[in-house]
Amino acid sequence: MYQYDDYDRALVFERVAQFRDQVERFMAGELSEEEFLPLRLQNGLYMQKHVYMLRVAIPYGTLSAEQMRTLASIARDYDRGYGHFTTRQNMQFNWIELHEVPDILERLAQVNMHAIQTSGNCVRNITTEAFAGVAADELIDPRPLAEILRQWSTINPEFLFLPRKFKIAICSAKQDRAAIMMHDIGLYLYPGRDGQMLLRVIVGGGLGRTPILGLQIRDGLPWQHLLSYVEAVLRVYNRHGRRDNKYKARIKILVKALGIEAFAKEVEEEWQHLKDGPAQLTEDEFQRVASAFVPPSYRTLAGTDLDFGTHLADNPAFARWVARNVQPHKVPGYTSVVLSTKPGLASPPGDVTDAQMQAVADWSERFGFGEIRIAHEQNIVLPDVPKSELYALWQLAKEHGLGAANVGLLTDIIACPGGDFCALANAKSIPIAQAIQARFDNLDYLHDLGDISLNISGCMNACGHHHIGNIGILGVDKNGSEWYQITLGGAQGKNSALGKVIGPSFSAAEVPQVIERIIGTFVRYREAEELFVDTVARIGLEPFKERVYPKALEASV
Amino acid sequence: MNNLLRMEASGARIVRDDPWTLIRSPETEPSAGMLILPLAHWLESPSTHAVWLGPDDGVESLLPWLSSLPLIALDFPSFRDGRAYSQAYLLRSRFGWKGELRAIGDVLRDQLSHMRQCGFDSFAVREDKSAEDALKGLAGMSVLYGRSVIEPRPLFRRR
């Protein structure tokens, strides 16, 4: 993991002092609500329905056991005993008092954490995939460049008041698990013929009310040019992005208006002034940062473990969990474990209690090297677990409500906090997620259905990434009541696709039955072990529509 | 202009005797003395007056005049409109403007350090705010990871 040095520490502590002063001035009436707004947003503080929400940055989803324990202590001391992991790998605390925020930030700073730029019209938390550094299909570890980007974008004075928020993701695995096509800038890192690190630069992707997949503006960019190239993109965007309408202010709208060729030309012209200048990354800097990400001291383990094999054979529930929640690792004998935060009715997707955080921190030390990842699917990953320890970990995870064997299944629902918390939401998300989870509570059936992603957003800002769910559910407001529009065929990863709307929206009560009918249609048309998303692609939307809309739906019981 | 801060060799100070008058709309305002005129108006008859640019104005249009202009001001119609930061960067780093670069409009304490980093060296603090108080905002943080006009080398070249 990256370790803070004196510069990094000075920055986060000075930032806490600065914000403490701003909060005091706001509370004393010296700063107006309007003046305070962007200051608090750039320190992660939103006003929600009831109180403030604080979004803490978890850079590229990586945190230490100590940092996780600090999050637990904040949940316990300043919130209601839980936190919520977001689709951008951050943690949100939903019940925060403004006057306590500086103390919370100070507690975070003590463990090298912050909430800087987790909101506001600036460059947000840099994200990558949860299995960076350990995934069997990884080409190059993307974390050093992610950390370099994090530093470069943090309080970069020219780019703090962009037309709109700006999200950058970087990925370097065969499967794109960082959704780089859905970001303002998506970076794909890969080795060139001579082994040099190269970048493919994608711009203008995004969800929200105008979902668009990003377009490539450059390929084969040597890594040394990462910062100067991103600077060029940001300067073009800062100068020319629309500011008259917040719904048309993302870079994707500018790219669309200019056309990708004209946009690329602007960027290229700007970059000609910057390339080979002081922003060019040095080998020294790369090595300095990369040295923090050297692999831990893995033991030499046998590829197979006898006890593990016995447990697999004897215990079908364990075998099922291993099949769904355990990922291959690049080191023999090791695995990466996904702890599902989607147990169903027991708690909403992404919500984790202080006791669970504490337990996860302990497990990360007992079974791994004290490192924890947050996946953009809102689950927790322990990246380095020996096969021989899986059984023990599984039993503990079950005991703590983190043992659901449903990763990638229909009930591994991605959901935003929705109308229960969020002031922007048109509709609630959590009760919909839980009603679907309750309807599909037969694990054998779920496993037979195979991979199906179901994503729920409470409004078209799309924090729940509904467009890229195989099944997407979007909360919409119709004359003051909550309705849900359903899309099919969305996908993330290498074959990213945006889902298509199947027809008129449904009431909350109808949704579980609609999902049941969609699944029923899939089962009827599915060939062999075909994936849901492939069936949708093969047969189109019609068979689903016929089944869902033939007659008025009976109200669900 | 009143309520003005300026960076000088000895540090930042409040300027009480600034000779410039900001002219927002030349048609309706009296025009005598040393004026800061809107770009379009100034370009009609380039003069010894100073010029101010709105965020929609291209800084490139000043290129022929940079050697003779006495002062350039960039307007923040709202402090949330960040275009003037990039305009300042271009004027300073690309076009080599060495003269006074003044921030006008919605100029507030909590953005002054960013403006300073981007090359502004005078700040017409919004009239209803205290210039003394705003002085505290100029310093900002001691650490800059990236680079800026006044510190063109990123931290990784300064370690």
To test the contact with chain A by mutation, choose from B80, B91, B101, B125 the residue with the greatest count of A C-beta atoms within 10 A, namely B80
Look at A157 and B154 and tell me if their CB atoms are within 8 Å.
no
Specify the pLDDT at position A329: 93
Residues 233-262 of A with CB under 8 A from B: 235, 238-239, 243
pLDDT band at A322 (very low <50, low <70, confident <90, very high): very high
Average pLDDT over residues A494-504: 92
Write out the H or E segment, with its range, that includes residue A218.
strand A215-222
Adjacent-strand bridge partners of A476: A483
Distance CA B61, CA B65 (A): 9
Chain A residues inside the 8 Å CB shell of B141: 10-11, 14-15, 18, 155
Distance to chain A for B80, nearest Cα, Å: 6
Chain A residues inside the 8 Å CB shell of B85: 157-161, 238
In the chain, the amino acid numbered A192 is: G
Distance to chain B for A36, nearest Cα, Å: 9
Average pLDDT over residues A269-278: 97
Q: Would you list the domain boundaries of chain B?
A: 4-157
Specify the pLDDT at position A88: 87
Q: What residue in A sits closest to B93 (Cα-Cα)?
A: A273
Instruction: Convert the pLDDT of each residue in B1-52 to its tens digit.
Output: 999 999 998 899 999 999 999 999 988 877 789 999 999 999 998 889 999 9
Stretch among A35-44, A202-211, A497-506 having the lowest mean pLDDT: A202-211
Look at B147 and A157 and tell me if their CB atoms are within 8 Å.
no
Write out the H or E segment, with its range, that includes residue A440.
none
* pLDDT tops 60 at residue A556: no
Look at B143 and A18 and tell me if their CB atoms are within 8 Å.
no
**Which of A8, A157, A284 is facing B118, going by the closest CB pair?**
A157
Annotate A526-557 with b (16+ C-beta within 10 A) or e (fewer): beeeebbbbbbeebebebbeebbeeeebeeee
Question: How many other CB atoms are there within 10 angstroms of residue B54's CB atom?
Answer: 17
A284 in reach of chain B (CB within 8 A): yes
In A340-379, where do the E strands start and end? 351-353, 371-374
Distance to chain B for A64, nearest Cα, Å: 23
Average pLDDT over residues A354-366: 98
* pLDDT tops 60 at residue B152: yes
What does the DSSP assignment read for A30-64?
SS-HHHHHHHHHTTTEEE-SSSEEEEE--GGGEEE
- The pTM is what? 0.93
Mean pLDDT score of chain B: 95
Q: What residue in A sits closest to B156 (Cα-Cα)?
A: A285
Distance to chain A for B95, nearest Cα, Å: 11
Distance to chain B for A242, nearest Cα, Å: 11
Distance to chain A for B82, nearest Cα, Å: 5
Look at B89 and A158 and tell me if their CB atoms are within 8 Å.
yes
Specify the pLDDT at position B13: 95
Specify the pLDDT at position A552: 53
pLDDT band at A557 (very low <50, low <70, confident <90, very high): very low
Q: Which CATH number, 3.30.379, 2.40.10, 3.40.50, 2.60.40, labels domain B4-157? A: 3.40.50
Radius of gyration of chain B (CA): 15
Instruction: Convert the pLDDT of each residue in A330-350 to its tens digit.
Output: 999 999 999 999 998 889 999
Structural domains present in chain A:
6-110 (3.90.480.20), 143-290 (3.30.413.10), 306-399 (3.90.480.20), 414-548 (3.30.413.10)
Cβ burial of A265 (10 Å; 0-12, 13-18, 19+) is middle
Its ipTM equals: 0.97
* pLDDT tops 80 at residue B158: yes
Look at B80 and A121 and tell me if their CB atoms are within 8 Å.
yes
Cα separation values, B126 from B76, B82, B135, Å: 10, 16, 13
* pLDDT tops 90 at residue A381: yes
Closest of B134, B116, B117 to residue B125, by C-alpha = B134
Q: Are B114 and A157 in contact (CB under 8 A)?
A: yes
Look at B146 and A161 and tell me if their CB atoms are within 8 Å.
no
Chain B residues inside the 8 Å CB shell of A238: 82-83, 85-86
* pLDDT tops 70 at residue A553: no
Q: Are B14 and B7 in contact (CB under 8 A)?
A: no
Structure tokens given for B112: 């002054």
Indicate the length of chain A as a whole number. 557
Structure tokens given for B136: 């505290």
Q: What residue in B sits closest to A15 (Cα-Cα)?
A: B141
Instruction: Convert the pLDDT of each residue in A433-445 to its tens digit.
Output: 999 999 999 989 9
Distance CA A208, CA A466 (A): 9
Residue in the block written with tokens 């060939």:
A527
Instruction: Convert the pLDDT of each residue in A102-156 to its tens digit.
Output: 999 999 999 999 999 999 999 999 999 999 999 989 999 999 999 999 999 999 9
